[in-house]
Amino acid sequence: MHPHGKPAINAPFLLNAIDHLGRTIDPSVLSVAQEIGPGAVRYAEKVVGDPALAISLFEETAATVSQTRRDKAASGKPDVTDIRGYQKREEPR
């Protein structure tokens, strides 16, 4: 049991490859999203107060990044070189 009364969950963080709007998430974006997801969703959950909404917003963001990369490729613009750079880092307090 977690010290604050909530059970500790040791489940892996899994993200859908398609967001709730039916947009696909590029495998390279999905890979990075799986890495940064637990921290990003914990932070978003604090902000929005709802874990399901936090995950939905995170999936939407991953799908938007994927679409942006596809749009850039279609127009001949250079691709993002560091997908992890899309992660917004929490400001120190």
Model pLDDT, residue 24? 95
Model pLDDT, residue 9? 58
pTM of the model: 0.74
Model pLDDT, residue 1? 46
* List of residues 6+ apart from 59 with CB closer than 8 A: 15, 16, 19, 20, 25
Distance CA 62, CA 73 (A): 17
Which parts of the chain sit beneath pLDDT 70?
Answer: 1-11, 85-93
